[in-house]
Structure 1
Amino acid sequence: MVLEQALLHVRPGQERAFEDAMREARPLIAASPGFLGIEVRPAVERSGVYLLLVQWESIADHRDGFRQSERYEEWRRLLHGFYEPMPDVIYFGDAL
């Protein structure tokens, strides 16, 4: 299992619209082969910051599967306009 992590910095004042868009986008990623689960958590002490955690069977399921799919194009359309700056994605292996 691989854990994808990204910090999402949402433009000020767009938090509610982002959360609505994320709810709409979730089924797009959930339908992807190799998808195991997703969590999106708002920061407690920093407005507009969200932690994205997605569990995949492999990096390839995310990078070569989901990101090359039509579902990802819709995901991008729904979500990427909220980010400033665009998030960096980091993959993590099994827990110690």
Structure 2
Amino acid sequence: MILEHALLQVVVGQEAAFEAALVEAKPLIEASPGFRGIEVRRGCEAPGLYLLIVQWDTIADHRDGFRKSDRYQQWRSLLHPFYDPMPTVAYFGDVL
């Protein structure tokens, strides 16, 4: 299993709208082959900061599957307008 990790910096003051859009966007990613789970957590000390963790079977399930799908285009249109700056995605493998 692979963990996709991203720190999402949402424009301050747009947190409630982002969270509403996230509820709408979640079924798009959940329908993806290789998807195993998603967590989004609010930061405790920084307004607008969220931690995204998505579990995938493989990196290709995210990059070649979800990101090249029509569902991703919808995900992007729902969520990307809230980010400043755009998040950097990183992948993590087995627990040591």
TM-score range, shorter chain: over 0.9
1:9 is aligned to 9
Moved over 4 A (4+): none
Match of 1:22 in 2: 22
**Alignment match, 1:90:** 90
TM-score (norm 2): 0.99
The aligned amino acid for 1:14 is: Q
Residues 1-96 of structure 1 aligned to structure 2 (within 5 Å): 1-96=1-96
Residue 17 of structure 1 aligns with an amino acid whose one-letter code is A
Query: Aligned pairs, how many?
Result: 96
- When normalised by structure 1's length, the TM-score is 0.99
Q: CA deviation at 1:79?
A: 0.1
| Corresponding letter in the other structure for 1:68 | K
Offset at residue 42 of structure 1 (A):
0.3
Unaligned runs of 5+ in 2: none
Name structure 1 gaps, 5 residues minimum.
none
